[in-house]
Amino acid sequence: MILDPIVEEVRKYREDYFMKFNYDLNAMFNDLERLQEVCDHNLVSLPPKRIERAIVSSQGDADG
């Protein structure tokens, strides 16, 4: 397997960030919200997309 130095750098940054909050997802989320509030970029909030459920016939195919 070929190691990509960019991927390795991103993984190290991610691991360091997780360790900073002792792997506490709530603490990380709160920090990301704080960063978003002080960010000077235009942020977009999109409504969630609805996912249509497939109807499966008794034969098991999705065509109905």
**pLDDT per position in the chain (64 positions), as tens?**
888 999 999 999 999 999 999 999 999 999 999 998 898 888 788 898 888 887 776 665 555 4
Domain presence at residue 61: no
Number of domains in the chain: 1
Domain presence at residue 17: yes
Which residues span the domain enclosing 27? 5-38
| Residues 62, 56 contacting (CB under 8 angstroms) | yes
Domain presence at residue 62: no
| Residues 64, 55 contacting (CB under 8 angstroms) | yes
Domain presence at residue 16: yes
Domain presence at residue 14: yes
Q: What Rg value do the Cα atoms of the chain yield, rounded?
A: 21
